[in-house]
Structure 1
Amino acid sequence: MGIGQGTGIDADQLAGQMDRQQWLWNRPAGPSRATLILAHGAGAPMDSAFMATMAELLAQRGVAVLRFEFAYMAARRVDGKRRPPNPQAKLLEQWRAVYAEVRQQLAGPLAIGGKSMGGRMASLLADELGADALVCLGYPFHAIGKADKPRVAHLAELRTPTLIVQGERDPMGDAPTVAGYRLADAIGVHWLESADHDLKPLKRSGFSHEQHLQAAADAVAKFLLP
């Protein structure tokens, strides 16, 4: 499914205006048909290997990707000290601010999402913000070892068109566990065979990590682009 097309300032122009924010853009060689704001997970920055690879693969498929960092991770970049994520309220506040600035200037289709925690925070705001779509890569349905305490209540009522790309053996939500959750009709789950939380498969599966990342990018691009 596509998320439509719009007119106005495009992702290339917007990226040039926002350099001061120290955000990272990956833009298609040709016109951008959709833009995705992609937030990082709890333990790795916006320029981690996973984030950089996914952003580039999506740009190759026609999706402009903007990456930003939550405050605790940006502070680590300054002094090198590891910190836990900011409280949820702070993370959501920052998501709202980033989305508002991009939405104010970008007239085309705008999706939000992220890796693990970044995607979960986006899912809590997708309906509120009126995002065109939501993309979650490795959704943390529950903390590791705490499948009895799922984080899925809001997913039962989500209205925003959503794609979750999930590894079948993700310790934060494997296929059998997720099958027992009630998810809204707006949510689709694309499973990657034998993959973990970083979408990396077991060697015996016959798939490589690169193949799974390519497959994830294919699924996201198909979902977002008209």
Structure 2
Amino acid sequence: MDVFIIAHGQGNGMKHPLLVTFAEGLAEEGYATLRFNFLFREKGQEGADRKDELYLAWEGAMRFVSTNADIGVKRIFVAGKSLGGRVAAHMTAEGLLNPAGLVFLGYPLHPSDEPQNIRADHFQQINVPMLFFAGTRDPFCNLFLLKEIFSTMNLVARSRLEVVDGGDHAFEVPKSLYLPTRDIYTHILKKTVQWMNKTFPARK
């Protein structure tokens, strides 16, 4: 069975509605799923853990899934909201995680007030398919810059970008669009399933 391991962002936890919708929807499609909290979230702290602690959490989740005989793991995919995805990307680039593919549910490409401070060099060391979701109002991910990175780093062949019109970093849109957040989460799930079916046809 194919498995998705899903990590949260700095300002939320594994029970965030997006991650719950995402995990439950994937389970209905036949995937096993695991959501986990980083240590700082378990402690109720606002500031994120140190890099080594974040890495240990991802390594522990990966180890739990890969050594669990009851699951019968075929392939492991990782998904992350903001911080969770960024840590997974760095670990994959460093060879510390070995997923079949990555899904980024809002990627923090740069600080909100420093779009010139792009954090993307590690993507050149990732050789598995990647799916990015980004809102047009996301202050942490300028879409023009992200698309430029896809081109200059030759990521186009192994990456796909799904844009959420009006969405911010949490994929919330202005009330004037009359689009319930739940519908946006369902859209993200649907696009992920479509991407999985196309990119990894021999699955489950």
TM-score by length of 1: 0.76
1:215, distance to aligned residue in structure 2 (A): 1.2
- In the TM superposition, 1:180-219 aligns within 5 A as 180-181=148-149, 182-183=152-153, 184=155, 185-219=157-191
Distance in 2 (CA, whole Å) between partners of 1:210 and 1:49 is: 8
AA aligned opposite 1:126: T
Share of identical aligned residues, percent? 25
SS in 2 for 1:131: coil
The equivalent of 1:152 in structure 2 is: 120
Q: What 5-or-longer segments of structure 1 have no aligned partner?
A: 1-32, 77-81
- Is 1:84 aligned with 2:52? no
- In the TM superposition, 1:120-131 aligns within 5 A as 120-127=86-93, 128=95, 129-131=97-99
AA aligned opposite 1:95: W
1:175, distance to aligned residue in structure 2 (A): 1.9
- Is 1:93 aligned with 2:59? no
The equivalent of 1:24 in structure 2 is: none
One of 117, 129, 133 as aligned partner of 1:165: 133
Distance in 2 (CA, whole Å) between partners of 1:45 and 1:222 is: 26
Distance in 1 (CA, whole Å) between partners of 2:171 and 2:30 is: 22
SS in 2 for 1:96: helix
Distance in 1 (CA, whole Å) between partners of 2:66 and 2:158 is: 22
1:206, distance to aligned residue in structure 2 (A): 5.0
Residues 156-208 of structure 1: per-residue CA shift (max 9 Å, x gap): 33212111111122111032232232442322111111111111222334533
Q: What 5-or-longer segments of structure 2 have no aligned partner?
A: none
1:218, distance to aligned residue in structure 2 (A): 0.8
Distance in 2 (CA, whole Å) between partners of 1:61 and 1:83 is: 34
Distance in 2 (CA, whole Å) between partners of 1:112 and 1:40 is: 11
**Is the 2:110–2:119 Cα contact (8 Å) retained in structure 1?**
yes
One of 124, 127, 132 as aligned partner of 2:100: 132
- In the TM superposition, 1:56-71 aligns within 5 A as 56-71=24-39
1:45, distance to aligned residue in structure 2 (A): 1.3
- Is 1:73 aligned with 2:41? yes
- Is 1:110 aligned with 2:76? yes
The equivalent of 1:10 in structure 2 is: none
TM-score by length of 2: 0.84
Task: Count residues in correspondence.
Answer: 189
SS in 1 for 2:43: helix
SS in 2 for 1:180: helix
One of 138, 147, 150 as aligned partner of 1:179: 147
RMSD: 1.9
